[in-house]
Amino acid sequence: MSRPRRSALFLPASNPRAIAKARGLDCDAVILDLEDAVAPDAKAEARAAAVEAVRQGDWGHREIVVRVNAVETEWGATDLAALVGSGIDAVLLPKLSSPDTLAQARGALGDRPALWAMIETPRGVLDLPRIVDAGQGLAVLVAGTNDLAKELRCRPGPDRTALLPALSHIVIAGRAAGLMVLDGVSNVIGDPDAVEAECRQGRDLGFDGKSLIHPSQIDPANRVFSPDEAEVEWARKIVAAFEGEERGVIRLDGQMVERLHLADADRVLKIHRATRR
């Protein structure tokens, strides 16, 4: 199983205090941002700061990702060149709308690191089958809900109804290619109940975790995207019941349980073990 990615926190790479604080936060991934969170005249400084933050290390269990500027911008190629051999875990490509962009990024970076793709344009949503089939070391899809809502001119509201078709499409495409999928950010800060509700919606849609914009959102995301005690206990029962069992279907606590449930139980227990820190 891939490493857990319940909580992926965006931080401006130009903010040294935020980067220092992130080393003590319980998020699964830190995304150092060179794109939206950085003004044009601060791009070079932020790029250097991101490379230095990766070089310094001390990130513990956290996966370190850098969101570069779009490849077609004046900063994109320089961002990618600066990250070659840096030791980061992944590069996040914004506004990915074509598999050609994946190929460009891979050509610039070499064999490593892994690529993450933000799906935040109508073209990106429509071309998801081609994007996920392109390979190129693509590991994660991230829903870019704010940009997508802007491009669609829709009004998602607290229940995000207008975005649900696109979100489901991202999950379906990701699963078809064996990728992990992360829900878009919640813009709510200071209302943990609202953040938790959005996390639960994302979990129920099939997302593995959520991208975040504030440290206060980490706990709700980690809690929601971790299996609870009842799920873990049921998974253990299923695994124990199938031990030495040759049948494909058994009866357990009054329910019909198939081997497909065994595979899911194994997944739940792996997540549970990986997130007990």
Q: Which residues are annotated as a binding site for Mg(2+)?
A: 120, 147
Cα 242 to Cα 27, 86, 227, 260, 273: the distances in Å are: 34, 45, 20, 11, 20
Distance CA 76, CA 93 (A): 9
Annotated binding site: 67, 120, 147
Phi–psi pair at 147, nearest 5 degrees: -65, -35
What are the structure tokens assigned to 171, written together?
């999950």
Annotated binding site for substrate: 67, 120
Q: Which three-class secondary structure state does DSSP give residue 125? A: helix
3-state SS string over 76-122?
A: HHHHHHHHCCCCCCEEEECCCCCHHHHHHHHHHHCCCCEEEEEECCH
Tokens 């953040």 belong to residue? 195
